[in-house]
Amino acid sequence: MKRLRNDVERLKPQKRGFFQSILCCWRRNRTKTNQNGTPIDGSTTPPPLPDQQRYLLPQIRHSDMHKKCMVIDLDETLVHSSFKPIPNADFIVPVEIDGTIHQVYVLKRPYVDEFLRKMGELYECVLFTASLAKYADPVADLLDKWNVFRARLFRESCVYYRGNYIKDLNRLGRDLQKIVIVDNSPASYIFHPDNAVPVKSWFDDASDCELLELIPLFERLSKVDSVYSVLCNSNNPLNNHNQQQQQPTQSQQQLQQSQQLQQLPQTPQQQQQQQQQQQQQTITATTIITQASTLSTPTILTSQQQQQQQQQQLQQQQQQQQQQQQQQQQQQQQQGSPPNHNDLNSKT
């Protein structure tokens, strides 16, 4: 009975946590996707729009007529939020859930202020998050000091498709060639991967420079006629892999260039230079050979000379000894000293 009770309890649906119900970071029954955010079954077709469906964005302002539209995500792209107290939190947002006030601690991503100010100058910026408005709206109030966001879109504006909250850019009412979406979740833009600039998910890394490093790219995108000219197929891992295989390495390119240069016809001056170089190479080769031969022969001569020198030294020593003996005999004869027994014996 106890085992049966445990099995029944395990089969009961579990309640979702407070934070899971607010933010877009956790979703149940999520569709398995690849790195590009595409479902494994290959389906990326959005559900059809009703005929009476209105566009999500209002009419474009006169000051933004010549700007492209930038759709910017919130959580893990611009900020990171947590129910757990954070000592260095930038914002503390009270959120009411089921009649209870909960404190949400929010960290700003490094360089988010510089990023938003610059994007507000270049684009018509739209905040588009899969989080609930009662959390995301007060966070946006504290984050956007310069009124960069022309509009704010929340979870109810997303399309719930195969377990994911999808941001369908067709619903915005803007030209798709002039829309770019900045998001850390590939599943958010599976309908429009060629409009996306993915960013790394951010949690608390104080040394992160992702937003700052992306500014030059967005400056370039703001000037092109169509974002597809830059972003088309950029988020397809298979295409990137094939391009890397097809592109030769730098060493291979240098080798090919040198081979091509060698095959080109030479001018008379180049031929003379080549002949001179060959002559110099032969001269240096012969000098190296002769130097090597001269360096190797002294070892043989020195061994022979050493033997001769040793013999000469012995002969010189013998001659010196004989001369010394003769000098001693002469001195003795001059002094009149008696001859030694050797001399007497020799005379007798």
Count CA atoms closer than 13 A to 75's CA, side-chain side.
23
Identified catalytic residue from 41, 51, 75, 205: 75
* Other beta carbons less than 10 A from residue 75's beta carbon: 23
- Determine which one of 41, 73, 90, 168 is catalytic: 73
Fill in the amino acid letter for 8: V
Please say if 141 is a catalytic residue. no
- Nearest CA to 21 out of 202, 119, 236, 165 is that of 165
Helices (H), 44-127: 112-122
73 in catalytic set? yes
Which own/partner contact pairs does 41-47 have at CB distance under 8 Å and 24+ positions apart? 43/162, 44/190, 44/191, 44/193, 45/191, 46/159, 46/161, 46/166, 46/168, 46/170, 46/191, 47/159, 47/161
Cβ neighbours of residue 319 under 8 Å, at least 6 residues apart?
Answer: none
**β-pairing, 196-198 with 79-82?**
unpaired
Q: Which residues have a catalytic role annotated?
A: 73, 75
